[in-house]
């Protein structure tokens, strides 16, 4: 029997920004519950909830102080269970974040660990002695700027943090710590979740010898010094696979559950790690990376990502997405100034649905939502403040959902939202798009429904056509049929010649006259093939 997640479309919900039902300006679990009909109407198979756990919120919930608690900002356990039940009633699975590579400094485990060098949890976090001159143990850097080591005056040692100083890394070389993390995951499986999204899954294990990272291959120094290093020792260690096997053994006890891991790496290596972590049946079910969350919108890039994965792990499974809570929204990344953002959005979902694997979409992209321009005094993502203004942080993609254009804060909250709802975003409100048959929202529903009914797109083999930029041609085929997707990834019309019999089908905006196929700017078409055709 084919597992549900292999064909799935997953919808990511950022709880803080989805729907506020108690008027405090912050989204909550009851609000999500109330809006689940909208999510189900898209035809998705599962929701992924970003962190809602107990946290001091130095990194918006990605600094967890209680792995089995619900942050009162979002509600309580009763609210969570009601949400799970409602999602299941609507035919959707529920996946939750697990942020276990690090915790908050407020976590009781860390408070005990830092209290002495001899306490029962002394080795639950990564501690190391200073060098003789008092400097950190090695040259490892934090993604958020500066050294990845913070000195603690009680232990007179440094602790390791890949991210904020308030996010100490857990020591995965310590069996007791891993046992405790697995038990926290079991808690949520018992509560009825259908799987996990594993944050920074390749960051779990560090080099126990604490060797320096070598420099990366850069021609000009990057904006973030972290990128100047090749992190071959601070993450992605071979022992990481053993941790994943323990996690898989746990989830396999709970039937039809799954794990999708976030791979944080650069270049082709990230896709290779996706393959390594999903090969076989004893590690992750699937993985995603930032490979398609970049500014590269070329046909060659998309083809390279997919073919690299297929070559690296023919028995692995990928999850592809164009946007999430960490990156600039793809409509903004890929639309030139003055360009047609709605056309880019409609093409994007058609393009994504042509790819093999599981698909992930981020709240608001079904509205063609654009990046919000955040001013310094509106900033909430202070984790990245060291890089302002060259990098304005992640707030611009995290602003609230827009439901009703004429309501205060576009229907998100009756109170002042934690991030502003600005006019360019309110113009994409769901109620306005419901009223227009040609809206991005209706395009998402149409395209996802088309994918659902076409075995070629869900189950078929994948090959690419050799077409020049900016044209991408992808063929998806089964034993009973072949479907060809053609995409013009530019803002100027393009013409192709089709040799062979084809029939346009599904969502499209192209024109076929005889053998001449014209694709407008950001054009796309699906073609049923009657035998193998050629395209030039």
The SS3 call for residue 497 is: strand
Q: With the CA atoms of 427, 433, 438 and 441 taken in that order, what torsion angle do they form, in degrees rounded to the nearest 10?
A: 110
What's the pLDDT score for residue 2?
82
Q: Given the residues 199, 272, 365, 366, select the one marked as catalytic.
A: 199
The CATH superfamily assigned to 104-169 is: Oligo-1,6-glucosidase; Domain 2 (3.90.400.10)
Angle at 304 between CA 298 and CA 307, to 5 degrees: 140
Mean local confidence (pLDDT), 513-527: 97
For all residues of the chain together, what is the average pLDDT? 97
| Lookup: tokens for 32 | 């999500």
What's the pLDDT score for residue 241?
98
Q: Given the residues 169, 265, 328, 395, select the one marked as catalytic.
A: 265
Whether 267 shows a pLDDT value over 90: the answer reads no
* Residues of the chain above pLDDT 90, percent: 95
Q: How confident is the model at residue 383 (pLDDT cuts 50, 70, 90)?
A: confident
For strand 9-13 and strand 46-49, is the pairing parallel, antiparallel, or unpaired?
A: parallel
Mean local confidence (pLDDT), 172-199: 98
Q: How far is CA 120 from the centre of its chain?
A: 36
How crowded is residue 497: how many other Cβ atoms within 10 Å of its Cβ? 11
Q: How many CA atoms lie within 13 A of 525 on its CB side?
A: 21
- In sequence order, the 6+-apart residues with CB closer than 8 A to the CB of 363 are 11, 12, 13, 14, 17, 18, 401
Whether 389 shows a pLDDT value over 80: the answer reads yes
Q: Determine whether 265 is an active site residue.
A: yes
What's the pLDDT score for residue 534?
95
pLDDT tens string 1-28: 789 999 999 999 999 999 999 999 999 9
pLDDT tens string 316-357: 999 999 999 999 999 999 999 999 999 999 999 999 999 999
Q: What letter would DSSP give residue 168?
A: P
What are the backbone dihedrals phi and psi of residue 371, each rounded to the nearest 5 degrees, phi first? -70, 135
Whether 95 shows a pLDDT value over 90: the answer reads yes
The CATH superfamily assigned to 4-103+175-451 is: Glycosidases (3.20.20.80)
What are the backbone dihedrals phi and psi of residue 47, each rounded to the nearest 5 degrees, phi first? -115, 145
- Under 8 Å between Cβ of 71 and 55: yes
Domain boundaries, the chain: 4-103+175-451, 104-169, 460-535
Mean local confidence (pLDDT), 158-182: 98
- Under 8 Å between Cβ of 411 and 429: yes
* Residues of the chain above pLDDT 70, percent: 100
pLDDT tens string 28-58: 999 999 999 999 999 999 999 999 999 999 9
Kindly list the strands in the beta sheet with 524-535, ordered across the sheet, starting from the edge strand earlier in the chain. Answer: 461-464, 471-478, 481-488, 524-535, 494-505, 516-519, 511-513
pLDDT tens string 419-461: 999 999 999 999 999 999 999 999 999 999 999 999 999 999 9
Q: Is domain 460-535 given the CATH code 2.60.40.1180 in the classification?
A: yes
- 104-169: same fold as 4-103+175-451? no
- Under 8 Å between Cβ of 375 and 362: no
């Amino acid at each position: 029997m084919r597992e549900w997640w292999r064909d799935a479309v997953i919808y990511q919900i950022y709880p803080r920004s989805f729907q506020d039902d108690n008027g405090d300006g912050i989204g909550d679990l009851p609000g999500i519950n109330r809006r689940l009909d909208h999510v189900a109407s898209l035809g998705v198979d599962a929701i992924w909830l970003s962190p809602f756990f107990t946290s001091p919120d130095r990194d918006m919930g990605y600094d967890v102080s209680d792995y089995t608690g619900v942050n009162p900002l979002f509600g309580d356990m009763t609210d969570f269970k009601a949400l799970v039940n409602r999602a299941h009633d609507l035919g959707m699975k529920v996946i939750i974040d697990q942020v276990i590579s690090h915790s908050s400094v407020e976590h009781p485990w860390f408070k005990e660990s830092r209290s002495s060098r001899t306490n029962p949890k002394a080795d639950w976090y990564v501690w190391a002695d200073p060098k003789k001159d008092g400097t950190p143990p090695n040259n490892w850097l934090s993604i958020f700027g500066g050294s990845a080591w913070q000195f603690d005056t009680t232990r007179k040692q440094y602790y390791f943090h890949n991210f904020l100083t308030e996010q100490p890394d857990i020591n995965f070389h310590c069996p007791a710590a891993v046992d405790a993390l697995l038990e926290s995951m079991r808690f949520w499986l018992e509560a009825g979740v259908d799987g996990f999204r594993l944050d920074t899954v390749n960051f779990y294990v560090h080099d126990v010898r604490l060797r320096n990272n070598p420099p990366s291959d850069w021609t000009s120094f990057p904006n973030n010094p972290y990128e100047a290093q090749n992190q071959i020792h601070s993450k992605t260690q071979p022992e990481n696979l053993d941790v994943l096997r323990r996690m898989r053994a746990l989830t396999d006890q709970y039937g039809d559950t799954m794990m999708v891991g976030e791979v944080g790496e650069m270049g082709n290596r990230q896709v290779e790690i996706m393959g390594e972590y999903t090969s076989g049946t004893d590690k992750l079910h699937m993985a995603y990376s930032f490979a398609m969350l970049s500014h590269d919108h070329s046909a060659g890039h998309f083809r390279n990502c997919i073919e690299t994965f297929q070559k690296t792990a023919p028995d692995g499974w990928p999850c592809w997405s164009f946007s999430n809570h960490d990156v600039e929204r793809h409509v903004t990344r890929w639309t030139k100034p003055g360009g047609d953002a709605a056309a880019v959005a409609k093409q994007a979902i058609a393009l994504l649905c042509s790819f093999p694997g599981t698909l992930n979409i981020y709240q608001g992209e079904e509205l063609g939502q654009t990046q919000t321009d955040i001013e310094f005094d509106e900033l909430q993502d202070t984790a990245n403040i060291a890089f302002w203004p060259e990098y304005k942080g992640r707030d611009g993609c995290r602003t609230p959902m827009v439901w009703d254009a004429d309501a205060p804060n576009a229907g998100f909250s009756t109170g002042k939202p934690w991030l502003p709802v600005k006019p360019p975003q309110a113009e994409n409100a769901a109620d306005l798009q419901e009223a227009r048959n040609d809206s991005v929202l209706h395009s998402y529903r149409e395209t996802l429904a088309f994918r659902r009914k076409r075995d070629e797109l869900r189950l078929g083999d994948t090959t690419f056509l050799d077409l020049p930029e900016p044209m991408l041609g992808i063929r998806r085929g089964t034993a009973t049929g072949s479907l060809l997707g053609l995409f013009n990834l530019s803002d100027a019309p393009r013409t192709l010649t089709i040799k062979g019999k084809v029939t346009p089908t599904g969502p499209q905006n192209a024109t076929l006259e005889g053998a001449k196929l014209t694709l407008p700017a950001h054009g796309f078409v699906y073609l049923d093939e009657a035998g193998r055709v050629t395209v030039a």
